[in-house]
Chains A and B, each alone.
Chain A
Amino acid sequence: MSNEENNKEIKELLQQALTPLKDTELRRDLWPQMLRKLDEQPSRVPWFDWALAGILGATLFLFPGAIPALLYHL
């Protein structure tokens, strides 16, 4: 049997074992589920914001003299 014929046979076997879905109709409105998911998600702070805060904290700890300068520029 050639490769082409063999592949055709596999395709036919697959289509017989797993037939195309005829009923793909959505049976309920998913918006309430979507709203729950939107409500569940906490507002996450991006990692780079934490990194910046860490760098700033470390700088102020190591160089306390920079605090007045920082306050002046705020």
Chain B
Amino acid sequence: MELLERFAAGDLEAFEALFRAHQKEVYAWIVRIVRDRGIAEDLTVETFWRIYKSRSRFHPDGNFRAWARRIATNAALDHLRAARRETELPEDLASAATADPAVGRETRERIKQAFFQLPAKYRLVATLALIEAEPYEKIAEAAGISAALVKVRVFRAVRILRKKLNSLSAEVGAK
């Protein structure tokens, strides 16, 4: 019996083989969305837990990698929704280490503040499309939406960021 068939039938050894084969890829996808190593590790385990729970719905002829990425994207999106309710600004993995000195610290903080306040579904596509420069088609497949909708969400995210930056600038100017 093939590995995917054994996995779909509930074989734990087959699941372990799939876990070991795909954990790095799933983690790499999630960490680029949530931008925090510890959270990405937890979400990778959560993703495979969801995969294991819904194994009976997986068709062995299907694309496991694409299925796993979709579940990983949903897990990351759930995290972004929950994290948005928290008020504290998270420390970003890349910006802390590789901040561009040409851009003022205050401007960076303002754009980060505005970015972390974006609704989760816009933050997801904005991170992948604008920061990580992933193609719209790949984002669409992972998020389970059309490429056109990804484009719309990116456009709306940019519009929200522009408005928030303008209002933050006005607040700073008024002080």
Contacts and interface: CB of A to CB of B under 8 A. Distances in A.
In which size bucket is the chain B interface?
35 or more
Interface of A: 6-7, 10-11, 13-22, 24-31, 33-34, 37-38, 41
Given A10-B161, A22-B98, 6 more contacts: A7-B159, A17-B95, A20-B94, A20-B131, A24-B27, A30-B45
Interface of B: 16, 19-20, 23-24, 27-28, 31-32, 35, 37, 41, 44-45, 48-49, 52, 92-95, 98-100, 102-103, 107-108, 111-112, 115, 126-127, 130-133, 155, 158-159, 161-162, 165
Task: Give the 5 A-B residue pairs with the shortest CB-CB distance, closest first.
Answer: A24-B28, A17-B111, A17-B108, A26-B27, A16-B103
B32 A21 contact: yes
B94 A18 contact: yes
Given A13-B111, A38-B49, A21 B94 contact: yes
